[in-house]
Structure 1
């Protein structure tokens, strides 16, 4: 089977005493996270036809204490294949914590886990994208972005994201004007607040990069309702 969602993990956490789970344990892979100082990076799976995810200690009902490790006991059934793209998080020994989403997924379903660092090749972003490299309509599971010129070298970014929540929907929206700098478009809320200013709390902070044919978007999870995030690799319509 290909990489599945992390619903099983969430179910385990719901029935396990909180004291048994340490989110700060460096051996646990909890996803990519947000860093005000550093943009996300992307890596490509390479070297083998199939690369299995590796367990964290909380897997197997918190009975995988010796993981991550290159052992059969730590190998998950879920796997990726050569040329799959992942978002890169922290490292632990010879492993890298990654988040993966199928490029044509219909919903925001992510697989998060350890992969051997040796099986990953960093994908460099465009160093100096031209205006035409940004402009267009970009798709992502649950929503998308539209980017157009706004004059003076600036771009106008607008987007919406919707996440089903039982019988309800959680949504978020972006509407900002910002100027690319060093190959990155970074903005806070509507773009009038300098991104370099320290986070004042409850701000929607967003970064965009062009990586290969994709648009890499990341946010700090404060751009919409509960569970709403614009983070991911977008594809032109």
Structure 2
């Protein structure tokens, strides 16, 4: 199935349009105002997402083949000019794109989840960067409702010009105390600290970092689900 993403506005006098390339799968975890929602559509109706390139999402050429149906659960960012950047994931793939605001119904979520909702082993559900089987985040409860976050991630750069496999690694091990459904942890000194932000939205963990948590191109920048593996 599919997924969806975020929004910015470009003002030009009295005319404004959605800035291109602002509803992207890889960038979605870093967007502000992410909330849960569902798709609203008629019986058998297909709601096609739209590209985020120049002139989109208004132009009909922006229509994608992929579509969502009534009741599909998504994550969304705040609407801009009648469009919502939406993220969807299914069993085999994930997807981002623009959806008309009229097709989105917001869903409730806890702004102050219980500590036990955070704890456990989490793995990224996004597959856009290839095999993520080794990536994980472990969250455990310590004292006074603080949470210990231990995570591992990597970037697979394929083969270089010499035929050598290029893999860069990264990780974080730090603790913090949630503020509502947000948790920020830092490892290292202030100037070069690895900073990871985690947002718990129902059963999903939205994670992004400051690009200081490992080698080149290594990021904690995914949507995670709790797992027993």
With normalisation by structure 1, the TM-score equals 0.66
Q: Is the contact between residue 48 and residue 64 of structure 2 (CA under 8 Å) also seen in structure 1?
A: yes
Q: 1:99, CA displacement in angstroms?
A: 3.9
Residue aligned with 2:123, SS: strand
Q: Which residue is equivalent to 2:144?
A: 152
Residue aligned with 2:30, SS: coil
Which consecutive unaligned segments of at least 5 residues does structure 1 have?
A: 5-24, 59-64, 194-199
Q: Which residue is equivalent to 2:115?
A: 131
| Poorly superposed stretches of 4+, deviation over 4 Å | none
What is the rounded CA distance, in whole Å, between the counterparts of 1:81 and 1:223 in structure 2?
38
Q: Which residue is equivalent to 1:61?
A: none
Pairing 1:87-166 to 2, within 5 Å after superposition: 87-89=75-77, 91-100=79-88, 102=89, 104-105=91-92, 111-141=95-125, 142=132, 143-166=135-158
With normalisation by structure 2, the TM-score equals 0.68
The total of aligned residue pairs comes to: 194
Which consecutive unaligned segments of at least 5 residues does structure 2 have?
A: 4-16, 126-131, 160-165
Q: Is the contact between residue 45 and residue 81 of structure 1 (CA under 8 Å) also seen in structure 2?
A: no
Q: Which residue is equivalent to 1:235?
A: 226
> Larger RCO: Structure 1 or Structure 2 (Cα < 8 Å, ≥ 6 residues apart)?
2
Q: Which residue is equivalent to 1:74?
A: 62
Q: Which residue is equivalent to 1:196?
A: none
**Structure with the bigger percentage of helix:** 1
Q: Is the contact between residue 29 and residue 97 of structure 1 (CA under 8 Å) also seen in structure 2?
A: no
Structure 1 residues 83 and 186, CA, compared in 2 at 3 Å: closer, same or farther? farther
What is the rounded CA distance, in whole Å, between the counterparts of 2:38 and 2:70 in structure 1?
5
Residue aligned with 2:155, SS: strand
What is the rounded CA distance, in whole Å, between the counterparts of 1:164 and 1:90 in structure 2?
32
Q: Deviations over 1:16-65 (max 9, x none)?
A: xxxxxxxxx73314233736xx5x4133331125321113343xxxxxx3
Structure 1 residues 226 and 68, CA, compared in 2 at 3 Å: closer, same or farther? same
Tell whether 2:203 aligns with 1:219: no
Structure 1 residues 44 and 150, CA, compared in 2 at 3 Å: closer, same or farther? same
What is the rounded CA distance, in whole Å, between the counterparts of 2:141 and 2:153 in structure 1?
22
